[in-house]
Amino acid sequence: ARNFLAFPFAPYNGVYSSKPFNNGHGGQKGVLVAVDLKWATYQANGGPLGSANPNFVITVNLNTAGPNTVSGTWTVQSVYIDNEGVDFPVYVYFPDSQFSISCPANSAGWYAVYTNARQALIAGIGISSGAIAAAQLTRIFFTDVIMVPSLDEERPSTVPNYLGSPSIQRTNSLLPGFGPPALGDQTASGNVIAVETSIYPVKQIILPKSSSGFYYITSLFISAPLIQSQYSTANGGTQFTAEFD
């Protein structure tokens, strides 16, 4: 389990909002408490959250929920996490039971909760400077109604966060700085040499120069041992060369 207590933390700096909650499916009625986590409004180690401070914890105390204070018998049974439009996962941890739930990036869902307290830690993991610059916001609802767990992934497979090179950054893409899987959205133009005949077997595979972006080799069959691989600056550009026996 993650040690959320080891991360920098601060108390929730927003306004708690509580209101009656009616679950139309099961007819259950209760009260929910909402918190809006504006990550850009917090700091850690004297600086903003982001690449220099990627992990951060916000502490919430639901005893102070307003404008309608929850009753003395109110207990947390379910949590709804709206993390859509947010490019990092969010965790909710209850220190009394040491129970934690996690919501992936660009997702929203209902989660069952096991706790007897009204205090929780909300952690953002892998927060990027881009997410802070975009003022990404996570909204969380705590309720005393038992809800069926469910998860709605906004972008389940088309845009996972495949971290790209720290020095090569994509631009004009959905997630600059990340390299989505090779789905044909960008195709390199140039020569990929892979000659094989009965007289002249494969000797080299050369990838053309690319000023930015990423190469994904989706299929490669080699029947000869690799002698060496190297980068060169032939023809004024960088090339990757693999040489075989």
The encoded tokens of residue 100 equal: 């934690």
Residue 51: left if φ>0, alpha if ψ -120 to 50, beta else—which one? alpha
What's the pLDDT at 180?
A: 52
pLDDT digits (tens, 9 = 90+) for 84-102: 999 999 999 999 999 999 9
Please, where are the H alpha helices in the chain? 129-133
pLDDT digits (tens, 9 = 90+) for 43-58: 999 999 999 999 999 9
The dihedral through the CA atoms of 150, 154, 156, 160 has a sign that is: negative
Neighbours of 146 (CB within 10 A): 14
Within the chain, which residues score under 50 in pLDDT? 67, 157-160, 166, 189-193, 195-200, 202-203
Domain map (residue ranges) of the chain:
4-153
pLDDT digits (tens, 9 = 90+) for 202-238: 445 555 555 555 555 555 555 555 555 555 555 555 5
Say if pTM beats, i.e. exceeds, 0.75.
no
What's the pLDDT at 172?
A: 57
